[in-house]
Chain A
């Protein structure tokens, strides 16, 4: 059973036990426009919450993706690096960025659920 939570920076986290799969929301991709390049964190990298973890670039601009929680990167989505346009076509599915092993689950307390995120972007 996974739970999906959201940050105010428009990232989603699908939580399964102590591992979170992280991506950007459909709202975020619609704001960015056509994505042409994605830079993912190195496997095994220790990330601190709010640290720049990945980069997503549209034709026009580069945007940082921040670590939503502290933890270690356990998996990265190589398919996304090869096909950045997945961010536009399937932001909350195939276009996940990385998986992170959550160091401190209390950090999840500050995140939004689906209803709160919908209100945030309304």
Chain B
């Protein structure tokens, strides 16, 4: 239990009051007082998101506008390419792309979304990293860009097969959007930024809304019987089944994008032989990993038994060897699979699908098998 002083030092999102009125069980997360679950519970919230629609408060995440001093968005894009291995210049207006800030050792400082809003770039970064990310942007890009922290906005995710119909009632353009489309739209008459993306493996949207209008928008969405509020507990089990990385766990400053299995997110133009190859922090190491392979790799894991294998569990090649070959970085129970799921790092030589390994849980070696991710097929509207 937290002492009152600790709780008082936590920040709250513009939907804090709504979480209480919905019966949210509040926990500290990345310095915020956030709902881990509502009365329905993690299992029902997870399954509801996969069968209908879930509403998530992700206002703790950082929203940043990168405004080019020249007035040309491609100048902001070129500047940002100095910090990420992605092709930012190629993001068309109204489109969004997944990216990573890298460090000089090729590790990942944070992962983020970058959208082209026509005259500026819009970034969404992780809550726990947002202060460092902003300082990093200011230190490296201030000659070219105004770094505008949009702290007065909330962020609401609406995810699941009924997210489209629920949002369509408030935003007529929503159904025409495709996966990773992003831009300004009116939602329930409010000026919002809407992207067709999320962190569950489901089709869905993320809606950036002015803080003062956030509760009204959330309540309007929740008035739809298809939409239930979903806490951080189910957010984690949904993204795990979706094979999506959690920063600070599955990726961090010691993992390169190649080790993390995120090669798909690094476009050819930034790789060896590309038009703008390299030129980002850690390029030497990351491009070497592309060209010659990395020694280890992030993989998905399924278990033979019912016991969940959780973060920190060591992985072994067989039932008796004393030297671990890898480690679980995220793991738990996947409600849609009705079975445990995990991900972790293993030597590339042992990373083939169906490879049998052992995970140590409470002193026992449990049989696990490397499995294809995502564990649950994603349903993005491409």
Interface residues of A (CB under 8 A from B): 33-34, 36-37, 39, 55, 57-62
Contact = CB atoms under 8 A, between A and B. Distances in A.
B110 to A, nearest CB: 24
A1 to B, nearest CB: 36
Nearest to A52: B362
Contacts of A60: 36, 42, 233, 236-237, 332
Interface string B18-58: 00000000000000000011000111101000000000000
A58 B234 CA distance: 12
A36 B233 CA distance: 14
A33 B308 contact: no
A62 B308 contact: yes
Interface in B84-134: none
Contacts of B335: 36, 59
A36 B333 contact: yes
Contacts of B41: 33-34
Nearest to A58: B42
B310 interface: yes
Contacts of A61: 310
Given A59-B233, A60-B36, A37 B42 contact: no
B237 to A, nearest CB: 6
Interface in B326-366: 332-333, 335, 340, 362
Contacts of B332: 59-60
Contacts of A59: 42-43, 46, 233-234, 237, 332-333, 335
A53 to B, nearest CB: 12
7 contacts: A33-B37, A34-B42, A36-B43, A39-B307, A59-B233, A59-B234, A60-B36
Nearest to B232: A60
A36 B237 CA distance: 13
A25 B239 CA distance: 31
Chain B interface residue count: which class? 20 to 34
A57 B43 CA distance: 13
B292 interface: no
A33 B233 contact: yes
A34 B36 CA distance: 13
A33 B307 contact: no
B306 interface: yes
Nearest to B364: A39
Contacts of B236: 60
Contacts of A33: 37, 41-43, 233
A57 B340 CA distance: 11
A50 to B, nearest CB: 17
**Interface-centre pick from B233, B308, B362 (highest chain A CB count, 10 A):** B308
A37 B36 CA distance: 20
A60 B43 CA distance: 10
Nearest to B40: A34
B331 to A, nearest CB: 10
Contacts of B233: 33, 59-60
Nearest to B310: A62
A111 B316 CA distance: 42
A37 B306 contact: yes
A40 B233 CA distance: 25
Contacts of B333: 36-37, 57-59
A41 B118 CA distance: 62
Given A57-B308, A62-B308, 18 more contacts: A33-B37, A33-B41, A33-B43, A34-B44, A36-B306, A37-B306, A37-B307, A37-B308, A37-B333, A55-B362, A57-B333, A58-B42, A59-B46, A59-B234, A59-B335, A60-B237, A61-B310, A62-B310
Contacts of B37: 33
Contacts of A55: 362
B23 to A, nearest CB: 12
Shortest Cβ-Cβ A-B pairs, 7 listed = A34-B43, A36-B333, A59-B42, A59-B333, A60-B233, A34-B41, A37-B306
Nearest to B236: A60
Query: Which residue, of A37, A60, A61, has the highest number of chain B Cβ atoms within 10 A?
Result: A60
